């Protein structure tokens, strides 16, 4: 006998694409969901069930983002490079491009393709759903067309499939594969971009993935913006 939790571990919790923590319920409003607060009362399991882990990550992530932005603002202000907010981000981008030729890095290209490709997929998906909604009286309105407990479809997958089959000659056969692909494209793009940044931390060049220091030591004629500054 295969117990239900076995399937959860095999097909849910062990896949990094599907890893998730529960978001707090709407009824908890803007509570910070502290572990020692009145909601969880020190019970770690209950805290996780209420969405405390999500609140913990979101809160600390917000603090980290605010801290980084203030640091960039301080750097721009110290050299009087206005506008402070924009100049700080430009400094970050110019450093990546000037020292590492970031726009010619294939991992950056895959990241751009993933994020912008996902935006295009979302736009196509939204337009397709809007134009294939079942017009069942008052429910034809987008904001009243869906109920989480309904048994029937909100929009016609068959119509959407036929339309895109005629346009591209190929279409998604079911909603699960469609939604997986809409998740897979941006996540893969972000992972590729993250790997590219790791490569920059190791000072690897865009195409041959060789450290600029090692290359400069072996070839006296090898010169980049980085080696010009530091050697």
Q: How confident is the model at residue 7 (pLDDT cuts 50, 70, 90)?
A: very low
The span from the CA of 53 to the CA of 71, in Å, is 27
Q: How confident is the model at residue 155 (pLDDT cuts 50, 70, 90)?
A: confident
State the Cα angle at 226 between 221 and 228, rounded to 5°: 55
The span from the CA of 60 to the CA of 49, in Å, is 19
Nearest to 201 by CA among 66, 89, 209: 209
Q: How many CA atoms lie within 13 A of 156 on its CB side?
A: 14
Give the model's pLDDT for residue 85: 67
Ramachandran quadrant class, 205 (left: phi over 0; alpha: psi -120 to 50; beta: rest): beta
Backbone angles phi, psi at 155, to 5 degrees: -135, 165
The structure tokens 């056969």 sit at 173
The pTM score is 0.56
> Where in the chain are the domains?
1-86, 106-135+154-204
Q: Are the C-beta atoms of residues 105 and 196 closer than 8 Å to each other?
A: yes
Each residue of 138-152: b (16+ CB within 10 Å) or e? eeeeeeebeeeeeee
Residue ranges of alpha helices (H) inside the chain are 4-8, 44-49, 52-78, 84-100, 106-130, 157-168, 175-201, 212-218, 225-230
108-127 pLDDT per residue, tens: 999 999 999 999 999 999 89
* Torsion angle of the four alpha carbons 94, 204, 219, 213, in this order, in degrees rounded to the nearest 10: 80
16-71 pLDDT per residue, tens: 444 556 678 777 777 888 999 888 899 998 888 888 888 898 899 999 988 888 88
The answer on pLDDT for 187 being more than 80 is: yes
Count Cβ atoms below 10 Å from residue 17 Cβ, excluding itself: 11
């Amino acid at each position: 006998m295969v117990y239900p939790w076995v399937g959860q571990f095999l097909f849910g919790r062990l896949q990094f694409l599907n890893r998730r923590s529960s978001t707090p319920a709407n009824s908890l409003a803007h509570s910070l969901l502290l572990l020692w607060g009145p909601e969880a009362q020190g019970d770690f399991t209950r805290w996780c069930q209420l969405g405390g882990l999500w609140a913990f990550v979101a809160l600390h992530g917000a603090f980290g983002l605010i801290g980084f932005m203030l640091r960039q603002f301080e750097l721009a202000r110290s050299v009087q490079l206005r506008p402070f907010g924009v100049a700080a981000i430009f400094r970050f981008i110019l450093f990546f491009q000037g020292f590492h030729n970031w726009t010619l890095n294939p991992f950056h290209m895959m990241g751009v393709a993933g994020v912008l490709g996902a935006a295009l997929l979302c736009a196509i998906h939204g337009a397709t759903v809007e134009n294939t909604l079942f017009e069942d009286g008052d429910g034809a309105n987008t904001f009243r067309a869906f109920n989480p407990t309904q048994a029937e479809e909100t929009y016609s997958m068959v119509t959407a499939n036929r339309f895109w089959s005629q346009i591209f000659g190929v279409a998604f056969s079911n909603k699960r594969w469609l939604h997986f692909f809409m998740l897979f494209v941006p996540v893969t793009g972000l992972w590729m971009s993250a790997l590219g940044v790791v490569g920059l931390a190791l000072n690897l060049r865009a195409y041959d993935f060789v450290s600029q220091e090692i290359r400069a030591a072996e070839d006296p004629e090898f010169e980049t913006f980085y080696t010009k500054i530091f050697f």
